[in-house]
Structure formats: structure tokens, C-alpha cells
Chains A and B, each alone.
Chain A
Amino acid sequence: MNNPQIPQYRLPEGGRIDRSRPLSFSFNGRAYVGYQGDTLASALLANGVHLIARSFKYHRPRGIMSAGSEEPCAMVTMRQGSRIEPNIRATQIELYEGLVANSQNCWPSVNFDLQAIINKVSRFLPSGFYYKTFKWPKFLWMSYEKVIRHAAGMGKVATLPDPDHYDHMHAYCDVLVVGGGPAGLMAAKSAAASGARVMLADEQAEFGGTLCGRAEKISNKPAMDWVARVRDELAARPDVTLLPRTVVASYYDHNMLVLNQRTGEHLPTAEGFTPRQRIWKVWAKQVVLATGAIERPLVFGNNDLPGVMLTGAVQTYISQYGVLAGKNAVIFTNNDSAYDAAAHMHDNGIKIAAIIDNRKQTSPAAQKLSDRGILIFNNHVVYQAVGSKHVRGVNISPLNENGDKLSGGNIKIDCDLLCMSGGWTPSVHLFSQARGKLRWHETLTTFIPEKSFQQERSAGSCKGVWGLSDCLKGGAKAGAEAAKAAGFTKTRALKTPAASNHDMGDIRALWRVPQPPRSQTKRFIDFQDDVATSDIELAAREGYRSVELTKRYTTLGMGTDQGKTSNINGLAVLSEELGKHIPEVGLTTFRPPYTAQTLGAISGPERGGHFAPTRRSPVHDWHVSTGASFMPAGLWMRPAYYQQPGETMWDAIYRETKHVRSHVGLVDVSSLGKIDLQGKDSAEFLNRCYINGFAKLPVGKCRYGVMLRDDGMVFDDGTVSRLAENHFMMTTTTAKAGPVLQYLEYLLDVVWPELDVHVVSATEQWCAIAVAGPKSRELLSRITDIDMSNEAFEFMGVRQGNICDVPGRIYRISFSGELAYEIGVPSDWGLHVWESLMTAGKDLKVSPYGLEAMSILRIEKGHIVGAELNGRTTADDLGFAAMISTRKPFMGQRSLRKPALLEGERKQLVGLISLDGKTPIPRGAQIVVNPDGPTPVAMLGEVTSNCYSPHVENHIGLAIVKRGRQRIDEILWATSPLTKQRVRVKLCSPHFIDPQGERLRG
């Protein structure tokens, strides 16, 4: 012990740590040394550091209570800067060189925390105190709340984006074994022996589970030798996947489980291609749960003091880490498991000042300890721990006959470590997430699995089996059964090696250690959220008697540990208060995940640009190279406008608009949905889908169509072209491309399966380019062998032919209201055709235009888009009444008779024009008679589209207005109180240009 490298509480040898690899780390700014194989908790304990944190509510000192993921107390903030991470359990951090951790929720330091004053006034802050006060004066609540919010929370969130990356894996296996302790290893070995594809996941860096932290023997050799052998055997099998450092977090329907592997967490930083964490989404045919058990604290006064620890954890610190959690221990137990532990501690040099056992009879397990001269007090309890920031001693007392009161004769015993064991709680979290049914076991005083719901089975201590030999046998059996159920029928359980089989004897439940009369010392149940017995008693007294209400009122089990050590104790105390049997009171629901999961890991690679796919047209690179500004349209990126040197954005947009009306422009419309329909009933099908007729559409013609939902509202619009007798091409709006396809598929699969029609999306197969403007015919005639003359190729015609030496189609349709065509060519030729058009039309001054100009052109023409197709407008509302066929049935037809659709007060599509000729129409404005009228101001309608029209040379818009068509020429207000804009508008026809359609037919 003279070596200054070896901290005071480190054993000179033993444990799973590598003493040849010292690691320096910092906690609260102080430098310490630990070893490879340590956790932050074990390294701190080795250095005699016990005060780690402050509790959530009262800021009481908190130490290290456990050695695993159940830890409620030792919460720290890990790392710094952009990698800062709050609320991490010190018991789960593998030590690495240069690790930096800090206490949180304390100021100025964990040792001297000013907020600990709250503990002094905790009497005024029982559970739910905030429901009873802060009510007056009313306006001050937000100020009170601000204080509450600042006091709450624990660590701080990073203020810089996370620099690490995370990975996702999908995996399928025959048997997933959860937990690599003795039962889990044996299960994996058995299942693998049958030839099943096995995955074995364990939370810890090293397989072995409890064996890592015990002095157990298997086949008369150290148990960890057996663990190493089994692990190596499994690793050698090609069909076995070993996943250490992997917590199985969630168990979903149909045996879908979510695992989180800490691939880079134990490294100073996860560099290069190593993700920080990897999420495994596993579909397992069968699951073996070997998740172990968690020791329960005992509920006595000041049981939250640093230095009060779970007995099994103290053993783990010795065996796994070579660390003594103290030198002079008192052990307080209600079961036999603590006696093995006491011997283990004693063997390693911890003085056992006394063992306090609430059971009346001396347990046989006690014999060998009393042989060593260790004091054992039966029918006694530790009723209080003594100390301020660390335990200094305990007060013990005998119990009365009923065991519900102290019977006097107090003794004080000094110690620097108090080990408690209140029995063990099987980890049934995943079993319960999988809808398994639990049963209360009276002698084990815990819930154990009774009936599985999904394809899983439990083995080992998560099933309430304590003896090592029984755990091994149970594991072998479960592994074999799982393999068999997965279809490996010749499987049988493997023989298990010899091992001890100690159980924990009879437990004498002791849910609340009695206190001396008038004592107000708090007995904690939930150590993180400071829920004491008095809080549960208060909840019961005030009527919050369902276990769910108690939980919510007191916050029991709602901390980051989700009550792993507190749920049973809390439930038992509530049951006692209510005078009910524990299973009658029932458990709260186990919710995923088992331990908290990093959000970045769950989102995985879906972040930044990969949050959603980006869709680009085949001409995208050309748009980029010419300096187009882009705008998102759903998943697509589309050119908004092409700014030229010296132009403002609006200059560019108006130039493009005017150019189309005077010359010719190209716009990339590849994002519009394109659906190819083939089959002999295609015409009939279209006839049933659209309000207008398609049966008689001749080959070589297109038709505009409007589609309704069955409730009578307009679903989408677009054109349909008949390419051959039984071959059609449908276009949809960009937004509805997916929904319309899905709708057609539904109709064909479900409603009219007798129709012979095949539909398939062709959006990505075709590049679509609209060529618009008076010179469009001239331009196209230069690049195609199709006869472009007005006589040969009439408005709403469609032709197939060569376009720029590429096979393609030309549709004579117009969105802009100009003479216009839409070219369709296979996507791979899109760029070629676009560039050829630009070259061929140079002398015609052909120019690209973007979405902004296209939008102005269509508003001028009165064409509708998404804002008008808002799912609440009918065909009649939008001016399509004349299109509605009366000679055939179609989707939505029946709903047109609904009273609401026949009313005169419906909102109808109209045009708007700014009355003064200069004031813009505000976007999203509402149409009113008097914007200054009394609130609520009656709204007649709303502006759906607005722009400045270079053609009209005024601000125009489209709106849907109550009885709008009867109000043409009325003067109303378009008002936007939100942006403090308003304008007087005149209602007009929505067709601002060429209402007779002469341009597009010319």
C-alpha cells in the first residue's frame, strides 16, 4: 500500500482490471488514477470518493449505491463541450484515458451545495406541494414556475450540435439471448449447439453477469474461467453473434427488439468509422430472457447517505474491480444472500462490525460467520444511518414481537460502509414489455414471470431462481426450448457443470423499518427523486390510492432509473398503508426503454441532409450550374428562379414571367406525378375515377380531369393522355403523386378487382419539360419529327415521336395559358433534351423559368394548386360544375347530394384585383367586409394565391369566398392583421388572361 499509484481502497491484486494500464481521469476538476477495466464508480471508490451527486429535490448528498444500470444516485455529467452528456450513471461508464466527469445539480460544488438549504425546509415541501400553493396572485405563477423549472432538471443539455455519429443495423435470428450471465451463457450455448442462429447481448463490457463480481466456482475452478471458455466457444461459431456492451432496451410486438450497442462509448472519442452507438433492430424467432435480478434497498432513516450501498454491489466492487467500498462495514439484511457477501468481504479485508438481520432465527448461513467471530444481531434492525456526507455509524435496535416497532435498547455501531440487502427483484422489465403476466411470489417477496405472451421464456434469477447451479440448468433448458421452438427440433438441453446452489433462505419482508417515536428522519424509497415513506403515506392519506396515482403524485419511480430499485418497496409501503395485499394494489406498467437511450442513436443516420430523401429532377445539375435558386416542394428541390447578374429576385421572376408571354420559356416539371395505366379496362377505370368522362377520349388526345374523394371533396386534378387504346398516362400534382397512386391501387385491388388495369408510377422514368410561349411551336418544330402545325397537332393532343433524336412524347397542354407543350422523354435523356432545346432556341431567346414565374403564370390563368385544393373544396366551389358528368357513376358522386354541398353559402373560387392598383394583396389574407368591425370579424373567405401580375400590371390573387361567383365586381377587404397589411380588392373572374383560351389554341 505504499505505492502512491495504488489508491487507498484498491486491493493489491484480484479483480478484472488491468493494473498494468493505469488511466488518469478527472472528476470535479481533480485528477485521479484508475485502471483499464474500471468503471468511473469503481475508480472513484478506489480513490475514496463517495460524494458524487446531489438529489433531485432536496439536494441531499448522494453516493454510489449499486454497481449497475439500476443506480439511482451516482449521476454525473460526462465529457465537455459539444460532447457534454448529462445524467450518466457513474456505475456504467467504462474508464478511459482522460475521462472528464462532473457533478451536476449543485452549486457551487457537490461538497458544498447552497441549494441543500431546501433539505432544511423539506418539511414544507411534501409530495405535491406545488398543487396546493403558488396560486395567488395569479399573474405570479409564471415567476414561481421559473424558479421551479430552474430547480428541477438535473444536468445541462449541450449547446453545440453532436459531433458523433450513430449507426443502425437490422438483424434476424432464431434465438436472441438477453443477458450474458450464467443462465444466459448456458442458454446461448444450448441454442447454438442445435445449429440455431443465436445472438447474445449483455449490458456489460464483459460477459459473466453476476459471476464477474462474485468469488464463485464452476467445476471447482474460478467461475470466470468457465465464462471465458463458453464465450470463446460461442465466438468461434459462425452463426453466433456476441454483443457485449449492448443493452436490450425495448421489446415490441412480434418479437421485435431494440438493442443499443455502445460501440464507441468506452473510447476517449469514437473516431473514424466507429459510431458512438449502434442500434440493432432485431427480429428474433425466439427470445431467452436472462436479465438477472436487482437487489432491493432497505427503507430506514437516512438510508440515502453516501456509504450506504447494496450488498451485492460491494461484492462486485471487490471481485470485479479490486476495490473496497469501505473498511469497516455493517451489513443489514433480511435474507441469506448477505451472508455469502459478508464472508466475501471479510476474506478481502473488510472488517465486519456487525450483521443486523431482522429475522428472528439465526440462519444456517450465519454459522460460518459467527465462527469467524462476527457479531450477528437477529431480530434487530438498523433504524437509522448516522453521518452528514458519509455514513459514520448506525443506530440499531431490536424489534418488538410483531416486528412493527422498535423495542428499545438502542445500540450505536461505528462503520464507514453500510451494506443493505432487502431481497432481490427479478428484472422483469422486458418480460412485461412483451406483455408477459406476472405473479406475486409470497416467499420470494417479489413478482416473477408467470405466463409469457410472446415467443419468449425466462431463465435464471429474472425468474426468481437464485442458486448458481439452478441458473445454469435453467439456462440450458431455456436455450434448448427456444431452439426447438424456432424449428431446431432435435435439440436437447446441454449438461451443466457443477456449481454451488445457495439460495437466499426465507426472507422476512420489512418494507419500512420502524422509527423511534416522533422521529422525522426521512426513509427514502426513490433515491433519485427524493420520495420518502412519508410521501407515499401522504398520497394514500389524500386519496391518491391507485398505484398509478401514487406514482404520479409522489413522482415515485419517475426518475432516470425508472424505479429499478424503488418500485417494489414503494408498492409495498402503499399496500401497507391501504391495508391491502401487494398483488391487489398492482404494479405500474413497465414502459420501454429499459435504460434511457440516446436520442441521436435512435435517429441514427437520419439527420441533416439525410433526415428525408431529397428528390431531384434529371436536369437538376443544369439548374445548379446556371445559378438557379431552389425551393423545396415536398421532398423535391425545384428551381425557383434563375437570377442574372444585376437582378433582384423579383426582377428575375418578372422577367421570366414576361418572357414566357412574349417569347418562349422552359420549365422543369419532372416532379409532377406521372402514372402509367394499361389494360383493357383502363378507360372504364378512369371514367369511374374522374368527374368527367374518359371512355370516349380518342387515342392521341389528353383531357383535364378532376378527381373527388368519396366524400365529394376534390382530391386532385391533372391530365390524362390516351397513348393507345388501352394505354394512358395520368399526371397528378407534385404533392399528390403518392396519394393518388395509392388511391388508384386501392380501387383496383379492393373496390373493382374485376377491372383489368395496371397502374404504375412513372414519375422518375420520365423527364418532363414544359415549353411555353408564343414561340414554343417554332422551337419544337426544330427538334422533332412530329408535325407541330396547329392543324396536325391540335390543343389537347398528344404525339409520340423523336425529340432531339430521342424517343418521347409531346403533350399540347398549357398551365401558363400560353401556347404551350409538355415534353416527356426518358429521364436519362432529360438533360440532353433540355440542353438541346436551349441551343436550338437561342435565336428565339428561349429562357428557363422557375416555380415562382410558373406560379404567377398559373394565377393569371386561374389554375388551381394545393392552396385551393385544400380538401374542403368541391368541384362546384372551384368552378368545375360543368365538367361533372351526369351520365356515369364516379367516385364521390353520391356525396354531392349532401345538404352541406348544396348550400348557397359555400365558398367559391374567384379572382381578386387590388383596387388602388398598387397595394399588394397580403399572403394568407382573409376576405372581409369591414376589417375594423367588432370582433369577431365575420370572414367571407380567404386568399389562397397572390402575386403581382406583370400581365395585368396589378396585384392579383385567387380566393375562395362565400357565394363568390355572385359577388363578382363587389369591393371587399383582403386583410392580414398578422402582418398589419390590408387592401381593398375587387372580386373578378379567376381568369385574368385570355379567358376564351385563344392563345393556347392559336
Chain B
Amino acid sequence: MQNYSIFSLARNALSHHKNWTEAWRSPDPKPEYDVVIIGGGGHGLATAFYLAKEHGISNIAVIEKGWLGGGNTGRNTTIVRSNYAIEGNAFFYEKSMDLWRGMTQELNYNVMFSPRGVINLAHSDAQIDDFQRRGNALRLNGIDAQWLSRDDLKKRVPLLNMSPDARFPITGGLEQPRAGTARHDAVAWGYARAADARGVDIIQQCEVTGLKIEGGRMTGVETSRGFIAAKKVGVAVAGHSTQIFDMAGIRLPIESHLLQAMVSEPVKPSLDTVITSGASHVYISQSDKGEMVFGGDLDFYNSFAQRGNYPTIEHVVAACCELFPTYSRLRLMRTWGGIMDMSMDGSPIIDKTTIEGLYINAGWCYGGFKATPGSGWVFAHTIAQDRPHALNECFSLDRFQTGHVLDERGAGPVAKLH
């Protein structure tokens, strides 16, 4: 792998950047691999990377029907956090957070992870209770959290609407200081490049058309580029998990829903943290390019369209203007949508399946991006050892039947409510 550094950049500048090599190869699929990962997004690529790095398995293919990171990896609002109250979630996301902290160096690719804090605004007394309960759980679990008073918030986020006459006046905020944002595309590219350097074949424009199962065991995958044999197949295709597992006859506790996101035109720095508001259902940050990045609720109907409808956009934008009245004259530049695997308890599934050698990584709801490294790390372990790691035991597929669900929102088995 060609090393990336300020020196290599300078050296290549002298040759007008003609000598940069490919960040990853574009190999044809081999007839057989030890492991095939379906899905070339952040999760699939990270899984391949950690399989190679942590488990010494490098005869791996990552197959992707479109382009690298073209699913939710490249469509999210780039927020990275681990402020979960439920234990199983808390430890898993904190592991992920640890990996974020070293990712740029580990991959030799700057993923621009910036721990600029994530603040959940409380708008009522009851929300203060609720958020402090969560903050205390975080602290006792060894995860950073701090309470911000109204005065703290005024200093920290000067453009925030702190008026006591606001429709939902802000009563305080829970911050995870070491949470923040990262450059989403770079995560896919960084993992792709590092996995490729360890011998992983990344095969784009290769769509899975069938799973080959013999006697309850995986033997390979049928693809648009021919059959690829593999005794172990990991699936990380959030948004389309149902379609892959249909091929194995496994029904999932998942519905696919549409989540929209949007950016404003770029402006000079005006928000140096991530603001989320439960009462207004909106989250806002500013990208390094200067765009304000907004997201909100689902469109609330099943969809595979990657394009949403207008009521959601109206609501998100109104909430943004309510929280930041000076943004009213900013302009919305681009909106888009992604397909979420909405699970029935709002938490992911990382597990073995009833078919030997077939592994599932799905159900990420809104929250897949922040989990990328942790998800890859535990999924690699699950595949390599053929058993879940302690950190993902709770993300089992059978928890829905046994009732051991991880329902942070307490919304029950209605996918759209998580």
C-alpha cells in the first residue's frame, strides 16, 4: 500500500500527481474464497479489514452490487456517538468509539473524525429527568457525558434559540463530548484501501442473485459475475437485508424505511458541535465544507426508493429554523434519502443464522454509521470464530422471540417508531 503522508503528498506534487497508485484494485472474482462478505459499504469493508487484521483470514471477497459506500455509508448525516443507556448497546457502541479514535492512523487514511461533541437538547422538565438518567447510566458505564445548563448552552452554541418564549424552550442539554462527526465516504474508502492492502478482493458492480445452501450449509453465492464458492458468507447490506435473506428462506424482524437528509449551501463556521433535539425531531451539524447538515424523522412508510416526500423536509427545516432562527436565510441546497433496515426494537442484529456459515449484520435503523468500526470488528469475530463476541451476544436474532429486546425508545414492535 502506498503510504499517505504529507511527504508522499509533496513528493507526488512534484510529479503532478501522475504517480499515485490505485487506492484499491478492481480484481475479477476468484472461483472460491474463505469468506465472502456481501455489501461493500462501511460495515462490510470494515468486517473484511478486521477479518484480515485480527483473525488472519485474507482470502476474502467483498462483493458490492453498486459502488463502494453507495448505500447508507454515503447518505447519512455523519454523526458518531455512543450515548446509549441500555447496557448491551452501551458497551458495543463504546467499543466502536474506541476504534473511531484510532481509525485515521489504523487505516492510514484521514477519515476526519472530529470529536466536537453531540448535544441532546432537553425541552421540558421530564426530558431533563430522562436525559440525566441516560447521562448517569453513561457515566457509570465509563462513557463520557456531561450536563449543560442553559448558560452553558448559550456560551457553547451562540446561535441557538435560548428564548424562554420559544415554543419548546430549551431547558438544558446532555452532551457526549467525545462524540462528533466523521467524513462518511472516507470511512468506506479508508477501509477499502486498507482491506485491499491486506489482500481482500473488493468487487464492485457485482450483484448477488442467489445463495447456495447444501444440507443447511453455505457453499457459495450466485452473482451477476458468476458463482463464487465460500463456506462462510457474511451479509452486511442494511436497507436490503430482507432481499438477501429471502434467498435463504429466513424472514427477518425488519422493515425497510426511508430516511431523508439534507444540506444547506456552505457557509463559514457557525456551529461547532452536533445538536439534536428530541422535541423537534431534528439533528444539525456543520460539515467541514461548511454545509449545514440536517436530518430528522423517517418518512414513516415502507420504501426502497432512496427518495422521499416533502412533508418530512418541511418538518425538519421548520425545526431547524426554530432552533436556529438566524438560519432562516440560509438555503437548502440538496436533499436525498437512504433506506434504513428498521428492526422491531430499534437495535441491530449481528449473529449467526440457522444456516451454517451464513452470518447476519442488519437492522441498523438510523444508527449504522457510528457503529461502522465496531460492527465490522464484532462481525469479523462472529464469522471467524463462528460465535458472537461478548459485545454482540445481545444482538441475537432470537431475542425478538424470547423478549430480550433492546428497545431504547420503548416503542414496541413497530418498525417505524424506532
A-B contact count (CB 8 A): 342
Q: Would A943 and B133 count as touching, CB distance under 8 A?
A: yes
Which of B116, B139, B332 lies in contact with A593, CB distance below 8 A?
B332
Q: How far is the CA of A515 from the CA of B16 in the complex (A)?
A: 15
Q: How far is the CA of A545 from the CA of B68 in the complex (A)?
A: 10
Interface residue A145 (Cβ < 8 Å from any Cβ of B) = yes
Q: Would B110 and A87 count as touching, CB distance under 8 A?
A: no
Interface residue A33 (Cβ < 8 Å from any Cβ of B) = no
Q: Would A591 and B318 count as touching, CB distance under 8 A?
A: no
Q: Kindly supply a per-residue 1/0 record for chain B positions 6-36, scoring 1 wherever the CB is within 8 Å of any chain A CB and 0 otherwise.
A: 1011100100111011111110000000000
Q: How far is the CB of A128 from chain B (nearest CB, A)?
A: 9
Interface residue B264 (Cβ < 8 Å from any Cβ of A) = yes
Q: Would A154 and B333 count as touching, CB distance under 8 A?
A: no
Interface residue B322 (Cβ < 8 Å from any Cβ of A) = yes
A608 — which chain B residues lie within 8 A by C-beta?
Answer: 166-167, 322
Q: Would A975 and B410 count as touching, CB distance under 8 A?
A: no
A162 — which chain B residues lie within 8 A by C-beta?
Answer: 325-326, 328-329
Which of B16, B105, B321 lies in contact with A607, CB distance below 8 A?
B321
Interface residue B128 (Cβ < 8 Å from any Cβ of A) = yes
Q: Would A975 and B67 count as touching, CB distance under 8 A?
A: no
Q: How far is the CA of A150 from the CA of B124 in the complex (A)?
A: 35
Q: Kindly supply a per-residue 1/0 record for chain A positions 398-432, scoring 1 wherever the CB is within 8 Å of any chain B CB and 0 otherwise.
A: 00000000000000000000000000000000000
Chain A, residue nearest B327 (CB): A599
Q: How far is the CB of A606 from chain B (nearest CB, A)?
A: 4
Q: Would B318 and A607 count as touching, CB distance under 8 A?
A: yes
Q: How far is the CB of A534 from chain B (nearest CB, A)?
A: 7
Chain B, residue nearest A133 (CB): B6
Interface residue B413 (Cβ < 8 Å from any Cβ of A) = yes
Q: Kindly supply a per-residue 1/0 record for chain A positions 907-946, scoring 1 wherever the CB is within 8 Å of any chain B CB and 0 otherwise.
A: 0000000000000001111101001000111010011100
Contacts A123-B16, A155-B268, A978-B139; A599 near B331 (Cβ below 8 A): yes
Q: Would A611 and B322 count as touching, CB distance under 8 A?
A: yes
B18 — which chain A residues lie within 8 A by C-beta?
Answer: 541
Q: Kindly supply a per-residue 1/0 record for chain A positions 544-572, scoring 1 wherever the CB is within 8 Å of any chain B CB and 0 otherwise.
A: 11101100110100111010000000000
Q: Would A135 and B104 count as touching, CB distance under 8 A?
A: yes
Q: How far is the CB of B337 from chain A (nearest CB, A)?
A: 9
Q: Would A161 and B328 count as touching, CB distance under 8 A?
A: yes
Stretch at the interface among B42-50, B235-243, B374-382, B397-405: B397-405
Q: How far is the CB of A159 from chain B (nearest CB, A)?
A: 6
Chain A, residue nearest B290 (CB): A153
Q: Kindly supply a per-residue 1/0 record for chain A positions 318-358, scoring 1 wherever the CB is within 8 Å of any chain B CB and 0 otherwise.
A: 00000000000000000000000000000000000000000
Q: Would A709 and B412 count as touching, CB distance under 8 A?
A: yes
Which of A85, A133, A154 lies in contact with B290, CB distance below 8 A?
A154
Interface size on A, residues (CB 8 A): 118
Q: How far is the CB of A566 from chain B (nearest CB, A)?
A: 15
B17 — which chain A residues lie within 8 A by C-beta?
Answer: 126, 534, 538, 541
Q: Would A145 and B129 count as touching, CB distance under 8 A?
A: no
Interface residue A148 (Cβ < 8 Å from any Cβ of B) = yes
Q: Would B290 and A924 count as touching, CB distance under 8 A?
A: no
Q: Would A141 and B114 count as touching, CB distance under 8 A?
A: yes
Interface residue B209 (Cβ < 8 Å from any Cβ of A) = no
Interface residue B232 (Cβ < 8 Å from any Cβ of A) = no
Which residues of B (66-98) have their CB < 8 Å from a CB of A? 66-70, 74, 87, 91
Which of A133, A596, A942 lies in contact with B110, CB distance below 8 A?
A133
Interface residue B314 (Cβ < 8 Å from any Cβ of A) = yes
Q: How far is the CA of A149 from the CA of B288 in the complex (A)?
A: 5
Q: Would B310 and A252 count as touching, CB distance under 8 A?
A: yes
A606 — which chain B residues lie within 8 A by C-beta?
Answer: 314, 318
Interface residue B112 (Cβ < 8 Å from any Cβ of A) = yes
Q: Would B410 and A871 count as touching, CB distance under 8 A?
A: yes
Q: Would A543 and B24 count as touching, CB distance under 8 A?
A: yes
Q: Would A926 and B137 count as touching, CB distance under 8 A?
A: yes
B70 — which chain A residues lie within 8 A by C-beta?
Answer: 546, 548
Q: How far is the CB of A158 from chain B (nearest CB, A)?
A: 5
Q: Would A977 and B139 count as touching, CB distance under 8 A?
A: yes
Which of B115, B126, B327 lies in contact with A866, CB distance below 8 A?
B126
Q: How far is the CA of A811 from the CA of B286 in the complex (A)?
A: 54
Q: How far is the CA of A593 from the CA of B114 in the complex (A)?
A: 29
A599 — which chain B residues lie within 8 A by C-beta?
Answer: 264, 317, 320-321, 327-332
Q: Would A936 and B142 count as touching, CB distance under 8 A?
A: yes
Contacts A560-B265, A603-B314, A713-B410; A158 near B329 (Cβ below 8 A): yes
Chain A, residue nearest B24 (CB): A543
B331 — which chain A residues lie within 8 A by C-beta?
Answer: 87, 560, 596-599
Interface residue B201 (Cβ < 8 Å from any Cβ of A) = no
Contacts A154-B265, A899-B402, A979-B147; A871 near B329 (Cβ below 8 A): no
Q: How far is the CA of A599 from the CA of B74 in the complex (A)?
A: 24
Interface residue B245 (Cβ < 8 Å from any Cβ of A) = no
Footprint of A on B, CB under 8 Å? 4-6, 8-10, 13, 16-18, 20-26, 66-70, 74, 87, 91, 102, 104-105, 108-116, 123-126, 128-137, 139-142, 145-147, 159, 165-169, 174, 183, 185-186, 189-190, 204, 264-270, 280, 286, 288-290, 309-310, 313-314, 317-322, 325-336, 399, 401-405, 407, 409-413
Footprint of B on A, CB under 8 Å? 56, 83-87, 123-124, 126, 129-136, 138, 141-142, 145, 148-150, 152-162, 164, 250, 252-253, 256, 258, 281, 520, 534, 538, 541-546, 548-549, 552-553, 555, 558-560, 562, 589, 591-593, 596-600, 602-604, 606-612, 614, 631-633, 709-713, 715, 866-867, 870-872, 895, 898-901, 922-926, 928, 931, 935-937, 939, 942-944, 975-979
Identify the 7 closest CB pairs spanning chains A and B, nearest first.
Answer: A871-B410, A153-B290, A924-B132, A900-B403, A898-B403, A600-B328, A162-B328
